[in-house]
């Protein structure tokens, strides 16, 4: 299938979507002076998306995050998955949804509907799953991402969007200068390898308390063990409080992004492992801390723990999830 770019437009948003991986390549939105600039990390050369080791802008599935040892038990049967992150399964496997071509079911300037059929046993997951993802612009300044799926067998399914945001515009500054609010009273610890554990910690009094708006860079405590385990910043699941918005700000540009989701958690990841050898849109070189992900999803590896809701899609049931990214001026 030919790699194609599809453009969505409104008076306040200009978005580029690829049929490969359902990837968001660009989101251009105005700053406080009305200047449109790109606020997500993307490659200058679209051929680089065939590799895309950092999952820039990608749709993620069948599951999001790591599954420990690449295995799980469902309905008393053990399943072994593709291992593409050491001994673990990461973001669905070696050929996750970020690596496949999606069929375009419909397309206008205000939205695009993508479809993909994931076969029984693909990357080790049970069941043939029919997936649909819609990107659409609403109210001129909102990007709605809506997921829908059915499977002919019980399976694990947990989809997310892996865009790296940088509201400074065209990568002028890192996310360390951004401000953030995450309505969450608890987060889940990771071990020294970066694998999520089943240890839930209260955020109060820690670098993980973003219940009020805080500068991200100033909130990092390099002596905190969890910060160290995430290579000097964040790569953690925050359990979201009900009916509240995640908010990201860049004071200099005046841009604000509000994230509303029906997902139970968000992974806040900070491109801590990103190298400097990638050429991004506008001819800018990639570097550490250049983008921040807000991946709305379930707790990764929940199937191997007790106490977390496991994202099981039952046979012939319908999976639905929705996240809205609203771009505005402070």
Residues marked as catalytic: 162, 295
Grouping H, G, I as helix, E, B as strand and the rest as coil, residue 303 is: helix
DSSP conformational letter for 304:
G
DSSP conformational letter for 50:
G
Q: Read off the tokens for 297.
A: 């999803």
Cβ 64 vs Cβ 297: under 8 Å: yes
Cα 59 from Cα 190, distance rounded (Å): 23
Q: Read off the tokens for 102.
A: 């999606």
H or E segment at 30?
Answer: strand 24-30
Residue in the block written with tokens 């401000």: 179
Question: Torsion angle, CA of 298/295/235/81, rounded to 10 degrees?
Answer: 60
Cα 293 from Cα 226, distance rounded (Å): 18
Question: What strands, in cross-sheet order, belong to the sheet with 111-118?
Answer: 103-108, 111-118, 129-138, 142-151, 318-329, 255-261, 246-250, 179-181, 214-215
Cβ 40 vs Cβ 60: under 8 Å: no
Task: Quote the distance between the C-alpha of residue 18 and its chain's center.
Answer: 16
Cα 312 from Cα 180, distance rounded (Å): 31
Cα 65 from Cα 162, distance rounded (Å): 11
Q: Read off the tokens for 184.
A: 């969450």
């Amino acid at each position: 299938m030919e790699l194609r770019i599809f453009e969505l437009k409104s008076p306040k948003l200009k978005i580029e979507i690829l049929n490969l991986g359902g990837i968001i390549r660009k989101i251009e939105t105005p700053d406080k002076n009305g200047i449109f600039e790109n606020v997500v990390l993307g490659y200058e050369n679209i051929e680089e998306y065939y590799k895309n080791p950092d999952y820039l802008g990608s749709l993620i599935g069948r599951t999001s995050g790591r599954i420990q040892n690449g295995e799980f038990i469902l309905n008393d049967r053990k399943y072994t998955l593709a291992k593409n992150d050491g001994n673990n399964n990461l973001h669905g496997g070696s050929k996750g949804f970020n690596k496949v071509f999606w069929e375009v079911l419909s397309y206008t300037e205000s939205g695009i509907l993508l479809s993909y059929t994931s076969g029984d046993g693909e990357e080790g997951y049970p069941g043939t799953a029919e997936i649909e993802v819609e990107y659409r612009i609403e109210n001129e300044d909102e990007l709605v991402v809506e997921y829908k799926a059915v499977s002919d067998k019980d399976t694990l399914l947990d989809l997310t969007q892996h865009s790296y945001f940088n509201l400074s515009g065209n990568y002028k500054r890192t996310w360390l200068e951004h401000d953030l609010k995450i309505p969450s009273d608890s987060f889940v610890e990771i071990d020294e390898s970066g694998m999520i554990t089943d240890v839930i910690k209260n955020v109060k009094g820690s670098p993980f308390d973003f219940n009020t708006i805080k500068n991200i860079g100033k909130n990092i405590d390099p002596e905190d063990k969890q910060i160290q385990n995430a290579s000097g910043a964040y790569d953690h699941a925050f359990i979201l409080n009900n009916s509240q918005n995640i908010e990201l700000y860049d004071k200099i540009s005046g841009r604000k992004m509000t994230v509303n989701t029906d997902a139970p958690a968000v992974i806040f990841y900070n491109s801590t492992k990103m190298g400097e050898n990638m050429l991004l849109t506008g001819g800018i070189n990639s570097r550490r801390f250049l983008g921040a992900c807000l991946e709305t999803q379930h707790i990764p590896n929940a199937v191997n723990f007790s106490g977390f809701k496991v994202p099981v899609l039952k046979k012939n049931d319908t999976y639905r999830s929705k996240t809205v990214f609203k771009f505005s001026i402070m």
